[in-house]
Amino acid sequence: MEAILLQILNGLDKGTAYALIALGLTLVFGTLGVVNFAHGALFMMGAFVAVGVQNLLTISARVRDTSITFFDAYKETPYLELWWGDVGRTIIDYAVPISVIVAIPVMLLVGLAMERGLIRHFYKRDHADQILVTFGLAIVLQEIVKGFFGANPIPVNAPQVVATSVDIGSLFGLEGITYPWWRLIYLGFSLAVIGGVFAFLHFTTFGMVVRAGMHDREMVGLLGINIQNRFTIVFGLAAVVAGLAGTMYTPILSPDYHMGMEFLVLSFVVVVVGGMGSLPGAVAAGFLLGILQSFFSMNEIKAYLPGIDQIIVYLVAVIILLVRPKGLLGKD
Amino acid sequence: MSETSRNIVLSIRGVNKTFGGLKALSNIDLEIEEGKTHAIIGPNGAGKSTLLNTCIGRIRPDSGSIRFLDHDLTGGNMKPHDINQLGISRVFQTPEIFPELSLLNNVMIPAFAHKEGIFRFNPFSALRNEKAIEEETMSLLEDFGMADQAHHHAGNLSRGNKRRLELAMCLIQHPKLLLLDEPTAGMARHDTNRTIELLEKIKQSGMTKVIIEHDMHVVFSLADRISVLAQGAIIAEGEPNEIKGHPKVREAYLGSAEI
Amino acid sequence: MQTIVASSRARDILLLALFSVVVLTAPLWATTIGAGYPDLLQKFAVFGLFAIGYNLLFGLTGYLSFGHAAFLGVGSYATVWSFKLLTMNVIPAVLLSVAISALFALVIGFLSLRRTGIYFSILTLAFAQMSYNLAYSVLTPITNGETGLRVLRNDPRVLDAALGVQVEGSPLADLFGITLTGYSGFYFCALLLILGFRVSLRIFRSPFGMKLVAIKSNQTRMEYTGFNPQPYLLSAFVISGMYAGLAGSLMAIVDPLAGAERMQWTASGEVVLMTILGGVGTLIGPVIGAATIKYFENIFSSFNDQVLQQAFDFLPDWLADFMVTIISPFVGDGWHLTLGALFMVIIIILPGGMMEGFRRIAALFGRKPVKEGQA
C-alpha cells in the first residue's frame, strides 16, 4: 500500500508536466490544426525564464570577505543583498515564484510572435511540413538558449520554506511517506492552471468561440467571427501554459537546453494517447502515463519484466493507437 | 437460374438499415439489369449515399441480401480494392484523380490494377516496356479528346475535365458495373452537357451503370430506368416516362427541385 | 509535383554512368572544396545511401517516418556482431545487417502502417524510441549499452578461425584481404552507393514506383482503383529500412563500433532533413542533401573565431570584427543553429529543396526546365 501510494506520488510530478505540455499541444492542434514540434521548446524556454530571473537577481559585486582576516579574501555578494540585506536575500530566495510572474508576459510574447511570424503561414500546409518547420524552429530555439546559458544543467532552488518534505503518509495513516513540498506545490499549481484553462474555455464567450472552432472551424468562420485573432491568442495561451510548466519545474529538474525535446516526444505520445484534439483526454493521459512510468520503475516489476520501465509509455501508446486509433477520449 | 435472372448484375432484396434509431433504408428491393443505365434519384437525405455504399458492400445492412453477379456482398466488410477487383468502378461526387501525376499515368494506374490485381511486387520491371498498356491508355485518351494533354499534370485540369479523366480511369478497367455518384455535381452547364454527351457515348457501348443524381436533366437524358428514393424507401420505379408523371414522385421530389 | 516517366534506357544509362563517375572521382574533385579526405567522403556515401532509401518511402509515398534511425542502429549492431562472431570479412556482415534490418522494418512497418498521417509518424517514433531505450538499458548484453559495441582482438570469429586467418593489431574490416580503411573503405561505400542509386533508379522507373506515388497523391482513388495500398506501403517501408540497415552496416565497417545514440529520434530527424534539403521525391536530391549537410557540418563545426578572423583578414579591422561577431554563433558549436535555421528556410521558401532551386536557376537562364523524376 505504501509503495503504491509512493509510486503514484512520484509519477504525479512528471505526469503533471506532461499534462500541461499536452494541454497546450492539443489546444493548438484542435484550434489551429497545427502539429507543433516546437512546443517542447516553449517548456524549455519557460524553464530558462527562471534561470534568467535567478541570474538577474544574483548579479553580484566582489566584496571583501570580512570573515577571513589573515589575508585579503573576496567573495561574490549579490547587489540585492548588499543594498537591502535580509529583504534582498528573501527576494533571491523567491526567484522561482517571481519568475512565474515574469514568465507570463514573456511567454505570451514569444507565443504571439511565433504564431504571427511562422505558424500562421502553415495552417494550409500538410502535417508533414508543419512537423518539419516547427522541428527546425525547436532546434533553433534550443541552440539560442544553449548559446546564452551553456550546455550544462543549471540548478534553480525553490524557496527555503518549501525546500523540505512533507509527511504525507500521516494523512492516510501510513508510515514513512514523505513528499517534497515543492512537488506538492507543483501539482496544486498545475491543477489550478488546468482548471483555469478549462474555465476559460467553458465560461467565457471567447472560450466558447474557440471551442466551437475546435469542433467545426469553417462553421465559425462562416459566422463572420474573426477566428484568426482568436487563434493567435490561443497559441499565446498555449505558450504560457507550457512556459509556466517549465518555470515551475526548475526546482524539480535542473533545466538544460535540450530538456524540451525529451518532454516533447513524450508529450506527443500523451496527446495521441489522449486522443488528438481532446483536452480532457490529454490531461488524463498525461497523468496516467506519468504514473504508469513511475509504477513500472518499481524493482518488483522490473524483476519480472526487465527494461519495461524504459518503454512502457511508448508501448502503451502503440497499443492504444492500434486498438483505439482515436485515442482514449478522442472523438470520431 | 432462369433465363431472365441471368442478366441481372446487381440484386438487392429486402435491405434495411438503421443508424442510431434513424431509419436510413427501409425494405429496399432493387435489380440492376445488364447493359442498362439505372438512375437513383431522391431529395437530399433520402439515403442515396447509404444505398450506394450498401450496394457495394461497404455498409452492412441490418437485414436483406445483396448480390453482385455471383458474389454475396451482404457482409458489409468489402474493402474498396476488393470491390474494384470484382468489376465495380466508381466515380465520386468530387472527382478523385491523382492530381500530381500526368493524365497518362492517371489512366495507366487503373489499367495496371486491372491487369495485375490488388498487389504485384515488380520494382525492377521498367515502365517503358509496358507498351501495350501505354497504347491502350493513349487510345482511350484520344477517344476522350485528351491525348494532346497526356503529359500534363492532372491537377491543372478544369473540374469538367477532371470528371472526364476519372471516367477514363474507370473505363480502362472495362468494369461490369459503373457507379456514378452525382457525376455532374458542381459543374457549370457547359461541362454538364459535355459530361452527358460522354455518358451517352458510353451508354452505347452497353455498359451497366448506376447513376445517383440530383439533376433531372441528366437523369432523363441518360437513364433507362429510374428508382425514386424518399426517406429511405423506394417510392416509385419505372421508365423515365412513367416516373415523370408519377404523382407520388411529384409530391416527394419533383415539386421541390428543378426540372 | 512529380511525374514518374518512362524515361528511355539510354538516358538512364547515361544518368547512372554520370553518377558513378562523379562518385568514384570524388577523392579528386573533393580536395578542391576542402573535403578530400576519406572520413568525410565515407560519410557522404553512407548518409547518401541512408537518404536514398528514406526517400523511397517518404519521397514516393509521403509517409513521414520518424523511426528510421532504429534500422540504422540495428544494421550497425548486426555488422559488429558479424565481425565479432564470424569474420572480419564484410560480405557476411553486410548481408546480415540488411537481412536483420529488413526483418525489423517488416515488423515495425506492418504495425505502423495500420495508421496514416501524424499517427503513423508517432508510431514509428515510439518504436524507434523503444529500441533506443532498450539498447541503452536491458539489451546491454547485445549492445554494450552506453559504451557502445566494439570489435575486440580476442573475439571468437569462428569463420576466420576455421580458415586460419589471424588478426594482428586491432581488427579491421576487410574484403578478401583488402583492408577497408581510408580510401579503400570509401570505395567500398561508393560502390554500394552506386548500387543503391541504381536500385532506386529502377524503382523510380517501374510501375511499382508509379503506384507508390499514386498512394501519396490520392489514397482513396488508389483503393477504388483496385490496388491494396498496404502491401505496397509495406514493401516501400521494408526496402527503405534495408537501405538504412546497409548504411548502418557501412558505418560500422569503416569504423568498427556501434552505439545506441545512432538510434535516437534526432538521428531520424537528420535523414528527413537531408532528404528535404536535397529534394523530396527526386532521384539525386537526397544524395546531394546528405553530402551538403555532412560537408557543412564538417566545415562549419571546425570553424572558430581565429579561422573566421583569418577569413575576413582582407576587410578593415572594424568590419572584420563585426563579421566575426555576426557569424561566429552559427559556426563551431553553433552548427546546429545553422542546421535548424536552414531547415526552416528550406521548408518555408523552397519545399522542393535544392533540386527545385537548381530548376529555378536553370529556368532563369532560359534553359528548358528539366522534368522532375528525370534528373
* Any C CB within 8 A of B100 CB: yes
- DSSP 8-class letter at A152: S
Pairing of strands A60-64, C149-150: unpaired
In this structure, chain B runs to a length of 259
Answer yes or no: are the C-beta atoms of B255 and B228 closer than 8 Å.
no
Answer yes or no: are the C-beta atoms of A252 and A186 closer than 8 Å.
yes
Q: How would you label C122-146 residue by residue, b for 16+ Cβ within 10 Å and e otherwise?
A: bbbbbbbbbbbbbbbbbbbeebbbe
Q: For A141, which residue in chain C has the nearest alpha carbon? A: C337
The answer, yes or no, to whether residue A41 has pLDDT greater than 60, is yes
More confident residue, C278 or C308: C278
Q: How would you label C165-193 residue by residue, b for 16+ Cβ within 10 Å and e otherwise?
A: eebeeebbbbbeeeebbeebbbbbbbebb
Query: Whole-angstrom Cα distance, residue C287 to residue C193?
Result: 9
What's the whole-number mean pLDDT along residues A221-233? 74
Confidence (pLDDT) at A223? 66
C-alpha A106: how far from chain center: 15
C134 → closest Cβ in A146, A310, A318: A310
- What confidence tens digit (pLDDT) does each residue in A46-84 have? 999 999 998 888 887 777 777 777 777 777 777 777 787
Confidence (pLDDT) at A268? 83
Residue C42 falls inside a structural domain:
yes
Q: What percent of chain B has pLDDT over 90?
A: 34
Q: Helix (H, G, I), strand (E, B), or coil: what is residue A180?
A: strand
Confidence (pLDDT) at C371? 45
The answer, yes or no, to whether residue C369 has pLDDT greater than 50, is no
Answer yes or no: are the C-beta atoms of A93 and A106 closer than 8 Å.
no
Residue C118 falls inside a structural domain:
yes
Quick one: CA torsion of A104, A105, A109, A115, rounded to 10 degrees?
40
Quick one: CA torsion of C84, C85, C87, C89, rounded to 10 degrees?
-60
Confidence (pLDDT) at B154? 93
- What confidence tens digit (pLDDT) does each residue in C108-164 have? 999 999 998 888 998 999 999 899 989 988 888 888 888 888 888 888 888 888 887
pLDDT band for position B254 (cuts 50, 70, 90): low
Answer yes or no: are the C-beta atoms of A110 and A239 closer than 8 Å.
yes
Query: Whole-angstrom Cα distance, residue C213 to residue C2?
Result: 8
Answer yes or no: are the C-beta atoms of A131 and C118 closer than 8 Å.
yes
What's the whole-number mean pLDDT along residues B10-31? 88
Q: What percent of chain B has pLDDT over 70?
A: 95
Q: For C118, which residue in chain A has the nearest alpha carbon? A: A127
- What confidence tens digit (pLDDT) does each residue in C58-111 have? 999 999 999 999 999 999 999 999 999 998 899 999 999 999 999 999 999 999
* Any C CB within 8 A of B21 CB: no
Confidence (pLDDT) at A219? 66
What's the whole-number mean pLDDT along residues C281-300? 91
- R_g of chain C computed on alpha carbons: 22
Confidence (pLDDT) at C351? 85
In sequence order, what are the residues at sequence separation of 6 or more whose Cβ sits closer than 8 angstroms to the Cβ of residue B228?
B41, B42, B234, B235, B236, B237, B243, B246, B248, B249, B252, B253
Q: Which residues of C touch B138 (CB under 8 A)?
A: none
The answer, yes or no, to whether residue C367 has pLDDT greater than 60, is no
Please report, for chain B, the start and end positions of each structural domain, with discontinuous segments joined by +: 1-87+178-185+208-259, 96-174
Please report, for chain A, the start and end positions of each structural domain, with discontinuous segments joined by +: 2-323
State the helix-helix crossing angle for A279-295 and A259-274, rounded to 10 degrees: 120
The answer, yes or no, to whether residue B259 has pLDDT greater than 50, is no
Residue C81 falls inside a structural domain:
yes
More confident residue, C226 or B245: C226
Q: Which residues of C touch B97 (CB under 8 A)?
A: 218, 221
C contact set with B (CB within 8 A): 1-9, 199, 202-203, 205-211, 213-214, 216-218, 220-229, 231-232, 235, 239
Query: Whole-angstrom Cα distance, residue B257 to residue C164?
Result: 91
Answer yes or no: are the C-beta atoms of B38 and B210 closer than 8 Å.
yes
The answer, yes or no, to whether residue A173 has pLDDT greater than 60, is yes
Answer yes or no: are the C-beta atoms of A212 and A218 closer than 8 Å.
no
Output the DSSP codes for chain B: --TTGGGEEEEEEEEEEEETTEEEEEEEEEEEETT-EEEEE--TTSSHHHHHHHHTTSS--SEEEEEETTEE-TTS---HHHHHHHTEEEE-SS----TTSBHHHHHHHHHHHHHH-S----TTS-GGG-HHHHHHHHHHHHHTT-GGGTTSBGGGS-HHHHHHHHHHHHHTT--SEEEEESTTTT--HHHHHHHHHHHHHHHHTT--EEEEES-HHHHHHH-SEEEEEETTEEEEEE-HHHHHH-HHHHHHTGGGS--
Structural domain range at position C142: 9-264
Query: Whole-angstrom Cα distance, residue C331 to residue A265?
Result: 27
Chains contacting B (3+ CB pairs below 8 angstroms):
C
In sequence order, what are the residues at sequence separation of 6 or more whose Cβ sits closer than 8 angstroms to the Cβ of residue A155?
A254
Query: Whole-angstrom Cα distance, residue A6 to residue C304?
Result: 50
The answer, yes or no, to whether residue A331 has pLDDT greater than 50, is yes
Instruction: Tell if the CB–CB gap between A269 and C127 is shorter than 8 Å.
Output: no
What's the whole-number mean pLDDT along residues A157-174? 75
Q: What percent of chain C has pLDDT over 90?
A: 50
pLDDT band for position C375 (cuts 50, 70, 90): very low
- DSSP 8-class letter at C257: E
Confidence (pLDDT) at B106? 95
Q: Which residues of B touch C213 (CB under 8 A)?
A: 98, 100-101
Answer yes or no: are the C-beta atoms of A265 and C129 closer than 8 Å.
yes
Tell me which fold the domain B1-87+178-185+208-259 belongs to: Rossmann fold (3.40.50)
Answer yes or no: are the C-beta atoms of C182 and C111 closer than 8 Å.
no
Angle at B68 between CA B67 and CA B74, to 5 degrees: 40
Residue C337 falls inside a structural domain:
no
What's the whole-number mean pLDDT along residues B82-90? 92
C-alpha C100: how far from chain center: 18
Confidence (pLDDT) at A91? 80
Choose, out of C224, C235, C243, C282, the residue to mutate when testing the contact with B (most B CBs < 10 Å).
C224
Instruction: Tell if the CB–CB gap between C340 and A143 is shorter than 8 Å.
Output: yes
Q: C touches B (3+ CB pairs < 8 Å)?
A: yes
Cα–Cα separations (whole angstroms), residue C209 to A208, B110, B250, C225: 48, 14, 53, 16
For chain C, the domain total comes to 1
Q: How would you label C242-277 residue by residue, b for 16+ Cβ within 10 Å and e otherwise?
A: bbbbbbbbbbbbbebbbbbebbbbebbbbbbbbbbb
Strand partners, B25: B17
What's the whole-number mean pLDDT along residues A316-326? 85
**B21-25, B169-173, C317-321: least confident range:** C317-321
Range with top average pLDDT, A59-63, A236-240, B15-19, C262-266: A236-240
A contact set with C (CB within 8 A): 35, 118, 121, 127-129, 131-133, 135-140, 143-144, 146-147, 261, 265, 268-269, 272, 276, 306-307, 310-311, 314-315, 317-318, 321-322, 325
Query: Whole-angstrom Cα distance, residue B78 to residue C9?
Result: 41
Confidence (pLDDT) at C233? 97
- R_g of chain A computed on alpha carbons: 22
Range with top average pLDDT, A206-215, A280-289, B16-25: A280-289
Confidence (pLDDT) at C260? 85
Query: Whole-angstrom Cα distance, residue B127 to residue C205?
Result: 6
Confidence (pLDDT) at B5? 47
Nearest to C274 by CA among C260, C295, C258: C295
What's the whole-model pTM score?
0.89
